[in-house]
Chain A
Amino acid sequence: MARLTKEERKVSIMTKALELFSKEGFYQTTMPSIAEKIGMSVGNLYNYFTSKEMLAKDLILYIANILGEEIRKINESPLNTKEKIEAIVHMYFKIAQERPETIEYFLRVYLSNREVFQNCCEGMICVSAFVTELMIFFEEGVRSGELKDQEFFSAFGLFMGYLGGMVFINGEKILPKPLESYESSISDNIYNALKSN
């Protein structure tokens, strides 16, 4: 079997670390516990990531890139804005179901432990890939006349706060129905709130 390259090995470590971080939280997860889960020595783990903070930063970049890439595909598709909203909601909930550690990490580690990231992920630096695609989505929606013009963050908060909140509630096992059954009504709500008059 071919040996993994260093980059492939890093992704493999991040995948395992992501599970631990999203389940145990940032402070409960330690470099030794990550090393143990992977089956490598702690010393070797430090060859790939110089600190837990650096690993945490690479993880948020990794997740932002995954989400950004998905939204980019939607942005570049021939869908109209209403259909794009449906596609983004569907994509976000699908990732939340199939790779729950991704969204969990974003909500429970990145957003909940800002002190960890304040020196390496100022502002939107580490989530730029994701936010940039949403900027393009909104800008094109207004330019085409489908969305009303407003401050970017008013619209951004409405859209992503809503989705993040739903995934969070779902994670708490509060929702009476499966997450995907809300896709259509949530997409309608977002579109109705953002559409031009």
Chain B
Amino acid sequence: MNPPSAITSTMPSNPTKLKIIWLQGITCNGNTHSFLNDPLLGTLLDEVEFIHHPILPAQKTLKEVVKKIPKSDILIFEGAYSASFERAGVPMETLLLALASKTKHIIAMGSCASFGGIFKEGAPEHISGILFDKEQESGPLRSMREKVITLSGCPAHPKWLSFVIDMIVSGKTIAVDEYRRPKALYSYLVHNGCLRNEYFEWKVDSDHFGTKEGCLFYAQGCQGPMTHGSCNKILWNEVSSKTRAGTPCVGCTEPTFPKSNLFSTKTYMSIPSEMPLGIPKRSYLALAGAAKSFHIKRLEERLIDDNA
């Protein structure tokens, strides 16, 4: 007779907590801070335990980890990778590979761990992500690519991490894109769900940061229409996002991050140099030209006018 069901076979037979090691490369601690802001952190910590975490209470210090590399279920790597960068006196090329080879899942937490990010700007030839170096899959963990989940973002949203951990805990397969980012989180664009979409449709631009009105794409450098991320679906601190608050998306989940001049839109003869993702230039211009031909009074007024 067959086992009772496929579902039960994927559940852990022993309901012990998942063991996690959180290792930091070259980092600003931004992803740790983000993680600590998860309102459901307490619930998550009931399901997992940290063999090591640089800030949270954990079983072992990094020095103890280094003495005898333990097995783990998940290795979370925060920060950029540099082969010679040391933690607990061990260069990363040794430490990361040793920990990675003794774990089941690896999470590149944040843009630096994913693609090199901000820190790569300091020494582009020596610094990369753990699997990708910008768009190139040439990082030190390329031989273990199937174990790696990329959670790019500066920082990554805490709920993106808890989603991945929950999927691992429940034994589900995580569908990923070309950069091994979970499709459930990164198949959307930041543009999706932005409260300013109506302004984008009718080409009503925002002149300033911080206002409720206007689209930030044309003048303020917003990269929401070409950036994969669910920032306007899974809100930050459960209430807002950059674009909702009136600052442009800087495209931090993409391997091209950071670009230069993040707060202005590069144009050629008044036409944005970069089109919304997958939209042919001719189609965009025809539609934008049509939209600009109309003046929608409601969209040109303040939403809340204190002087009215």
Which A residues lie at the B interface, using CB under 8 A? 122-125, 128-129, 131-133, 135-136, 138-143, 147, 149-153, 155
Contact = CB atoms under 8 A, between A and B. Distances in A.
A151 B273 CA distance: 14
Contacts of A150: 269
Given A149-B269, A152-B271, A135 B285 contact: yes
Contacts of A152: 269-271
B286 A132 contact: yes
Nearest to A140: B268
B293 interface: yes
A34 to B, nearest CB: 28
Nearest to B270: A152
How many B residues touch the partner, as a band? 10 to 19
B297 interface: no
Contact of B281 (A129, A136, A142): A136
B268 A139 contact: yes
Interface in B249-298: 267-271, 273, 281-282, 285-286, 289-290, 292-294
A60 to B, nearest CB: 13
A128 B269 contact: no
Contacts of B285: 132, 135-136
Nearest to A194: B269
23 contacts: A122-B293, A122-B294, A123-B292, A123-B294, A124-B289, A128-B286, A128-B289, A128-B290, A132-B282, A135-B269, A135-B285, A135-B289, A136-B281, A138-B268, A138-B269, A142-B269, A143-B268, A147-B269, A149-B267, A149-B268, A152-B269, A152-B271, A153-B270
A155 B267 CA distance: 14
Nearest to A123: B293
**Which 10 pairs, one residue from A and one from B, show the smallest C-beta to C-beta distance?**
A123-B293, A152-B270, A142-B268, A138-B269, A139-B271, A122-B293, A132-B285, A139-B268, A142-B269, A132-B286
Given A149-B269, A151-B269, A151-B270, 7 more contacts: A125-B293, A128-B286, A132-B282, A136-B281, A141-B269, A142-B268, A143-B268
Interface of B: 267-271, 273, 281-282, 285-286, 289-290, 292-294
Contacts of A129: 286
Nearest to A133: B282
Nearest to B281: A136
A26 to B, nearest CB: 21
A129 B267 CA distance: 21
Contacts of B290: 123-125, 128
B269 to A, nearest CB: 4
A131 B282 contact: no
A133 to B, nearest CB: 8
A183 B119 CA distance: 55
Contacts of A124: 289-290, 292-293
A16 to B, nearest CB: 29
A47 B267 CA distance: 46
A117 to B, nearest CB: 11
A100 B285 CA distance: 28
A122 B273 CA distance: 26
A78 to B, nearest CB: 18
A105 to B, nearest CB: 20
Contacts of B286: 128-129, 132
B171 to A, nearest CB: 50
B71 to A, nearest CB: 54
Contacts of A142: 268-269
A57 to B, nearest CB: 14
Contacts of B271: 135, 138-139, 152
B269 A131 contact: no
Contacts of B268: 138-140, 142-143, 149
